[in-house]
Chains A and B, each alone.
Chain A
Amino acid sequence: MKHIDYKNYSDKELITFISNKENAAFVEIMSRYKERIINFLYRYVGDYDDAYDLSQEVFVKVYLNVSQFNAEHKFATWLFAIAANLARDFLKKNSKQTITSLENFEEAGDYNLTELIDSADSPEVKYDKNYVSLQVQKALNSLQPHYREVLILKEIQQYTFDEVAEILSIEVGTVKSRVFRGKALLKEKLKNLIIDLDK
């Protein structure tokens, strides 16, 4: 059996391999996108364990529904659309639990993400990254999900307005207005935070 190096193939080519049940191609797709997907879901749901489970679900869905992928679109757009749908459903189903976990998030202190940060960083850098990340994450968590999702996709994942509209199946104009409003809310929340820091 000949060895195929899947790293040289494009996403769409890998999808063809996956539809032929080639698991190595599926592993390659996962390794390309797992970091981005788990970060997106972590910013969205605000809990690492839930984000981890949801990101696994995303890739399971990709594998089982690979025949539904439309080759006219970008694979990443389809992947993030699956992730966004799963995250929305999760938040709807677990609205009470999410509120509790966010309360726990607040109570647990600002430095509970240390083990999630890249271990190559020095302790000081880890501390800084943790601090900023947690403050911004808190501010994001306090936003309504429809503002949160556009801000994560547009500002953190750096998708274009058109791509965000395609991922979330909404109009480009809606994306723009939500980004504008979400940023205003976020700035307001982070302004208070920064003023507190100055004291």
Chain B
Amino acid sequence: MEKQTLDQILQQSSIANHSENDFYSDVALKILLRTMAPVTVPASFEASVLNKVALLEPTKLYKSFIAATTFYSLISVVLISFSTLLNSEIASFQFSNAKEMLPKEIQQQKLEIITTPSLSNSNEQRSNSEESVLTKKKNVKRKNTNKTTQTPIPPPPKGIE
């Protein structure tokens, strides 16, 4: 842009501002805005953006590492659950075999006690048994006291004295 042209633009703007016609002032403003000198971008711009992207984007090595660890963790979870299942199956198998090996009388009597389904049940059972023991003891005591009250000691026969 030449100096003369600039002066013309400014003059036009100046005229437009003094007049009341918005059209001319709008045109002058548009010219002023569009004749703003553009800022230039250095040639290294693209390269520096690519460097930034490379730093931010996960590398191929990192991606393969993540994929491998995910795969192995999944495999280990599957193996652990399988071994747990196998152990429980073996235990139940051994138990059923052992049960068969016992004599029939013991099978009926003892195994009922052994085959407690869960720990909570066993606790309940234990507390029940403790309670039953206590009640038994109380009953025994009560019986004893009842005995003392119910069967009084007979007085000695008079003839002996």
Contact = CB atoms under 8 A, between A and B. Distances in A.
Interface of A: 23, 26-27, 30-31, 34-35, 38-39, 42-43, 48, 51-52, 55-56, 59-60, 63-64, 113, 116-118, 124-125, 128-133, 136-137, 151, 155-156, 158, 183, 186-187, 190-191, 194-195, 197-198
B41 A34 contact: yes
A12 B39 CA distance: 27
A182 B120 CA distance: 77
Interface of B: 1-3, 6, 9-10, 13-14, 17, 25-26, 29-30, 32-41, 45-46, 48-50, 52-53, 56-57
Interface SS of A by simple majority: helix
B50 to A, nearest CB: 6
A156 B56 contact: no
Given A64-B53, A113-B39, A155-B34, A34 B13 contact: no
Interface SS of B by simple majority: helix
A133 B37 contact: yes
B48 A132 contact: no
A62 to B, nearest CB: 9
A118 B29 CA distance: 23
Nearest to A56: B49
26 contacts: A26-B53, A27-B46, A30-B45, A34-B45, A34-B46, A35-B41, A43-B36, A51-B39, A52-B45, A60-B49, A60-B52, A60-B56, A64-B57, A117-B39, A118-B38, A129-B1, A129-B36, A131-B6, A132-B35, A133-B35, A155-B29, A156-B36, A183-B26, A186-B29, A194-B10, A197-B10
A136 B33 contact: yes
Contacts of A128: 1-3, 6
A11 B81 CA distance: 52
